[in-house]
Structure 1
């Protein structure tokens, strides 16, 4: 069984209620940065069988609403894969969004819906922006800690008395 099939099995197990959502998140986030092909494979496998996300449900109402999606996106975490098979993952409070910038899927506890190309591109850009911002904050924190260490070392070193 290849990596794409394993990822699909974990997703399907979650949707059947056989495993926790965290198992899907853990499986996907454990992929190396250059394993975007696994994610694009999952998207390519799920998309042809998934109805469009904006298709109304049985009640005639469109899926979710602006407020629901705003909450989902504002409370999401992101992961990206780079290279020729670039892909992105948004982990929201209730759904997972996978995209390669051209096509994407919304994976819920009970169903999978396909994203339009324009929404997929926007979600990919959002994933990349969140990840870049986090890296910038991490780098700033590392630089601040490095600076503190140098300053504290300088201060400590100056307090050592010379042996005469």
Structure 2
């Protein structure tokens, strides 16, 4: 193919169907993450619509959306440590303002947020996020993406300088034909 063709627009309905298929065991989690990762940066409204629909779905099916309650104390600390580990292992993607949204993908959890509302998705259940947590997780998504972009820019600059250095060295070693 000689021409770049725009990627097909992913709809909120397609995302919802894929998420439901994953949670029903009919599709791998990678199908969801690949679909979300392919969503262009200017289509945050699609992810926002998906989050809204997932929240409606969670409220309509409370047994699906409720996490199992745990006792206080040591179990709470174990849960905190588990969440810390999940967040430290996350990869992130952020969609642009004004329809900003973010995605965190960890080994066991998929988190979608738009800063006001969000959902935590696992294969066996889904849970709505409070708005304060959604805002914090949105900032985390944006911070991870900005940090990665800064690292990428630095590496690109280093590679560019290496190429310049190697080109000038190799060009100076070429003998002139007379």
Q: TM-score, normalised by structure 1?
A: 0.90
* Partner of residue 99, structure 1: 113
Distance in 1, Cα, partners of 2:81 & 2:170: 54
- CA RMSD of the aligned region, Å? 2.1
Residue 110 of structure 1: how far off its partner (Å):
1.4
Shift of 1:162: 3.3
Paired position in structure 1 for 2:58: 50
Q: Equivalent residue of 2:119, what SS?
A: strand
* TM-aligned CA deviation for residue 156 of structure 1: 1.2
Q: How far has the Cα of 1:84 moved from its partner?
A: 1.6
Match of 1:70 among 84, 92, 110: 84
From 121, 124, 128, the equivalent of 2:135 is: 121
CA distance in 1, matches of 2:15, 2:88: 26
- Aligned pair count? 161
Aligned equivalent of 1:6, options 6, 10, 14: 14
Residue 161 of structure 1: CA displacement? 2.5
For structure 2, which runs of at least 5 residues remain unmatched after alignment? 1-9
TM-score using structure 2 length: 0.83
Deviations 1:5-30 (A, max 9, x none): 00000000000000000000011111
Distance 1:132 1:148, change over 3 A: same
Unaligned runs of 5+ in 1: none
1:27 to 30, 35, 39: 35
Give the equivalent residue in structure 2 for 1:133. 147
1:47 is displaced (CA, Å) by 1.4
Return the alpha-carbon distance in structure 2 between the equivalents of residues 32 and 116 of structure 1.
26
Corresponding residue number in structure 2 for 1:15: 23
Deviation at 1:65, TM superposition (A): 1.1
